[in-house]
Chain A
């Protein structure tokens, strides 16, 4: 009994870490390879989660229709949710990139941040869109009929890891190809890359969209794991910055680093939860802030003393033919 409890705990840990790894992989396309400064991951997280939720749930009928409002409800299988989430996020990325990618990096940063904050406010205040602050509940879980509900997480872990592996493979392929080579050249020196005949804007746009689509899939995976989503989930701290710390810790410019960073940092995050359990009752309510403070100080130390993270970028990246 004790063992199964621990095992169940580890499984749910691995699911969340795996979902975060998907986000870290997406961010790695943006920041690690292209140098795009996206600090609004929460926005893509949010759009991915809501899109998939609305694609897979039916439009509420009868009595429920009075209480639950949502823009649409297509009641389609999970896979369509994932694809829809990716497409929606890609579209959003396109519109963010249009005015900002020709300008300096800070503009993209402030634009992504602005989108993320605005979206959260909009989802919170517009009842008709996705049920306002109460959010959407009862999202379907794929293959749930195969197994007893108590053990469902085993199946979901496999799904998350499979999706993560597929994304990892797709990214590795394109990063090791000439496409990734151009992205890294843009990261190193935009002017020189354009003088070498590369259409910098087009490549940055592709990278922005690709990374955002990966983040959208991450959002969808999260939505169907937690089965209920509301705007309060997609805060800058949980939705954006913890992912940055994961990528920086693991090693930006390295996909293995992104995955490793997600698991390590999620481990540290969960671990500090155990530690704060020992705090006296009076300060306990503020324990999450202390944990975040520790994480942020850790980030500053990484930036100062180990900017390459645990696993730095490999020296030879375009090695498709080896």
Chain B
């Protein structure tokens, strides 16, 4: 059980990264971005592309770091790929959402456009890579280390949590101290007020997409390192991410962090009683429960 809880925290930290991005977009740009899961997929596949095609071509060696399952190639690919996903998110805003915003479209229309974008991204992945599961390093044995309390842990998983911590701390510092971070928080609090006080909302929106996309990309890569690469991986994360966002109150970054961890742990612990494929319905059920008990989430007012 302790082991399941630990795995749940690993899964939850990945969900948190996704949920934080979703909650930022939700809070600042004010619509439900259904393409968020597929940002994760795109991040994982861009990394796969860099590792398996670009880096060998550049002659970067395929080493591994100590007990970890990956090495230099993944380390180099990670920042490039999350930057690229941030770029994809910004690009989508420029060619799609910005136009809809300007024509004063209904928020639901924007959500629908994001659903379309989700499928477009996924279809591109499917066309390029096909529908099979892939691995960054196929055939590699991934040994586990035994910790006290009978917990078997792979070194990768420790590293995943460390990366998530670093990303979240840097995001926290960024929101707290940088000018644009402060502007983002102000916009999330009150859009009209931010406009009146001279905040360049278009710039804020651009940064929001960039950050949200990059975090989602990172989540996708980390999941790929932990488990596998699959065209539907991000889509399957969509419901848990939404559940985490709602649980942590929409727009609340720290709420999304906690929400993600809770959902991850519950999903993982549920596998002790239910089929592992029921992780998704479990996350969904959690969300419905939250909607019944506390629709505004744990950090929501009222």
Q: Do chains A and B touch in the complex (CB under 8 A)?
A: yes
Within the complex, which residue of A99, A106, A117, A290 is in contact with B32, where a contact is CB–CB below 8 Å?
Answer: A106
A117-B284, A300-B113, A307-B105 known; A110 and B277 CB under 8 Å?
no
Nearest Cβ on chain B to A19's Cβ, whole angstroms: 22
Within the complex, which residue of B32, B108, B120 is in contact with A293, where a contact is CB–CB below 8 Å?
Answer: B120
Within the complex, which residue of A107, A285, A296 is in contact with B120, where a contact is CB–CB below 8 Å?
Answer: A296
Nearest Cβ on chain B to A51's Cβ, whole angstroms: 20
Question: From A100, which residue of chain B is reached at the shortest CB distance?
Answer: B291
Within the complex, which residue of B111, B126, B278 is in contact with A121, where a contact is CB–CB below 8 Å?
Answer: B278
Report the separation of the CA atoms of residues A297 and B113 in the bound assembly, to the nearest whole angstrom.
Answer: 10
Report the separation of the CA atoms of residues A303 and B116 in the bound assembly, to the nearest whole angstrom.
Answer: 10
Question: B281–A122 contact, CB under 8 A?
Answer: yes
Question: B116–A300 contact, CB under 8 A?
Answer: yes
The 0/1 profile, CB within 8 Å of A marked 1, for residues 24-35 of chain B is 000000011010
Question: B291–A107 contact, CB under 8 A?
Answer: yes
Question: B278–A303 contact, CB under 8 A?
Answer: no
A103-B291, A118-B284 known; A110 and B112 CB under 8 Å?
no
Nearest Cβ on chain A to B294's Cβ, whole angstroms: 11
Interface range on chain B (Cβ under 8 Å from partner): 35 or more
The 0/1 profile, CB within 8 Å of B marked 1, for residues 90-128 of chain A is 000000000110110111011101110110011011000
Question: A289–B281 contact, CB under 8 A?
Answer: no
Kindly state whether residue A304 has any CB partner on chain B within 8 Å.
yes
| In the complex, chain B residues 95-113 whose Cβ is within 8 Å of any chain A Cβ | 96, 99-100, 105, 107-109, 111-113
Within the complex, which residue of A106, A118, A304 is in contact with B111, where a contact is CB–CB below 8 Å?
Answer: A106
Report the separation of the CA atoms of residues A117 and B287 in the bound assembly, to the nearest whole angstrom.
Answer: 14
Question: A109–B111 contact, CB under 8 A?
Answer: yes
| In the complex, chain A residues 24-50 whose Cβ is within 8 Å of any chain B Cβ | 35, 37, 39
New A-B contacts (5) at CB < 8 Å, excluding given A106-B32, A109-B111, A121-B277: A100-B291, A114-B288, A241-B119, A304-B113, A307-B105
A-B contact pairs, 23 of them (CB 8 A): A99-B288, A107-B291, A109-B111, A110-B246, A111-B288, A114-B280, A114-B287, A114-B288, A117-B281, A121-B277, A121-B281, A244-B112, A286-B127, A289-B123, A290-B127, A293-B120, A293-B123, A299-B116, A303-B100, A303-B105, A303-B109, A304-B96, A307-B105
